[in-house]
Amino acid sequence: MSLETTYPTRWRRPPRMLRDRRWRFVVQGAVLAYLVLAMGSLDIEWSRVVEGLARGQRFVEGFLQPDFTSRWSDIRQGLIESLTMTLTATVVGVLISVPIGIGGARNLVPAPVYGICRTIIAVSRSLQEIIIAIFLVAMFGFGPLAGFVTLSFASIGFIAKLLADDIEEIDPRQVEAIRATGAGWWQVLHYAIQPQVMPRLIGLSLYRLDINFRESAVIGIVGAGGIGATLNTAIDRYEYDSAGAILLIVIVIVMLAEYGSSYLRRFLQ
Amino acid sequence: MLELQQLYKTYATGDTALRDVSFVVPRGQVMGLIGPSGAGKSTLIRCINRLVDPSAGRILLGDTDLAQVGRSELRRQRRRIGMIFQEYALVERLTVMENVLSGRLGYVPFWRSFTRRFPGRDIENAYRLLDRVGLLEHADKRADALSGGQRQRVGIARALAQEPALLLVDEPTASLDPKTSRQIMRLIIEVCDERDLPAIVNIHDVPLAQQFMHRIVGLRAGEVVFDGTPAALDEAVLGDIYGAEDWTAMRREHEEDQAAEADATRRVAEVAR
């Protein structure tokens, strides 16, 4: 019985998509050629780049010597506006997204409700904050109202989607047990589902609060009020030292929100 | 009293889980339901409180046919049927007290359960039940802070808080160690005796079933193949229920378990000495 099978000593991972070597060569070559041509078509004006570098240097200098005082009243007003906008938009966003998130959980609601809620979520998520802001500034005019509505709308997509996904992943045995006691739909929701998703909902809301603050700085640039508007004005006036001060304040506030929310979440688990 | 008449269940996938199941459980009787996994034990008890809808047949609890009742009547009927689960199925982040009081959800309006303002009588009864299962001082703890055996005791208290006319018990000891399993099983028997309560207990541990049950029904592939006293459950019948080879393997496993347990007890005793 010396009939031993010889096994290969080399193994290569089989290609997934293009099994023919020649085809792989052609496709790879085409991608490379397109990349080279595309780079060639970019019209880079090197003198402008050098000029820009000088401006960039002034910007960095401004950052290193931030000026908090000369525009303080503008900065203060912008900050208050931004913080107000952030807080109100997050609260309104959470209030609206809870029912939508519940409606978007397949294990809780009939198919038509699920479809409607998931559509609302998809619409809210597909529009970027800046696009909504531009549209709403055109509608409501410049100022924090447009910002507030923008952030509320964007929060709905974010929180409702993550809440709905979380509800779909809860432990079904706890729900079954509460249902078996003769509890109604609202009681099942309150006793079996809410305790399972509450820590996550609070965590998401806190996270959204600091996303909204950061976004408020961005959408202010397109006219939706808040600290972004102040930042935009400072940059337009070439006051990079004030702009640097504003950016530093934004960074500090986001950091505080980060530490604050992780501290809070530790209590909730 | 519970009576099943020609109960059938066929799932949408075409799998027949129950075929022509009929039996009567009189007051105060604790009936063990044994059978290999996939025999339909779990489906059977879930049909009774309609967590699963049966395909045909009648389920009579008193005068009501549970298979026919509509949505709101079903809620009212579920209140009368307490259920105890394999992995306890407590709401982990709620307190022990809230878990016990959740047995009253079918009796109170939503606003009362939402604000946790349960009637005084319900609260008094919940404390009494917690005392009965030996967990009075744990009332304010969160359910996930308890051990497995303690959690199952909360599960029992929750089912009893419903003041049920029937108890459905799904593999109550599957995730417990042998000693705790016997304590839990004894507790279930005692509370049923105290209340003259009929119960159906799904159980995969045959020796445990023989030790505690008043009566045993054996299911194989959705059909009743044995119905009698634990004493009548001999090797031939068990071979019939589980298939001869599987039963021999299960028995050997059980004997090994028992030998290991006895050995462990002896060693602990030696160390203690």
Specify whether the CB–CB gap between A174 and B90 falls below 8 A: yes
- In this prediction the ipTM stands at 0.85
Q: What does the pLDDT read at residue A117?
A: 95
Question: Residues B114-170: pLDDT tens digits?
Answer: 999 999 999 999 999 999 999 999 999 999 999 888 999 999 999 999 999 999 999
Picking from A176, A178, A198, the nearest residue to B102 by CB comes out as: A178
Inside any domain, residue B261: yes
Q: A174 CA to chain B: closest CA distance, Å? A: 5
Q: Which two tokens stand for residue B128?
A: 């009494």
What percentage of residues in chain B have a pLDDT greater than 70? 100
Inside any domain, residue B125: no
Inside any domain, residue A154: yes
Nearest residue in A to B103, CA atom: A181
Inside any domain, residue A30: no
Tell me the CATH number at A142: 1.10.3720.10
Q: Is B113 exposed, middle or buried (0-12, 13-18, 19+ CB in 10 A)?
A: buried
Question: Residues B36-72: pLDDT tens digits?
Answer: 888 888 899 999 989 999 999 999 998 889 888 888 8
Inside any domain, residue A116: yes
3-state SS, A88-150, equals HHHHHHHHHHHHHHHHCCCCCCCHHHHHHHHHHHHHHHHCCHHHHHHHHHHHHCCCHHHHHHH
Q: Structurally, how many domains does chain B consist of? A: 1
Inside any domain, residue A204: yes
Spatial distance between the Cα atoms of B159 and B103, rounded to a whole number of angstroms? 6
Chain B residues with beta carbon closer than 8 angstroms to that of A176: 51, 85, 89
Specify whether the CB–CB gap between B30 and B201 falls below 8 A: yes
pLDDT of A269 over the 70 cut: no
Inside any domain, residue A96: yes
Q: Structurally, how many domains does chain A consist of? A: 1
Q: What does the pLDDT read at residue B191?
A: 92
Inside any domain, residue A63: no
Where does B196-243 have alpha helices with state H?
Answer: 206-212, 235-242
Of A111, A118, A109, the closest CA to residue A185 belongs to A109
Nearest residue in A to B87, CA atom: A173
Chain A residues with beta carbon closer than 8 angstroms to that of B98: 191
Inside any domain, residue B253: yes
Domain of B250?
Answer: 243-273
pTM: 0.79
Domain of A205?
Answer: 73-268
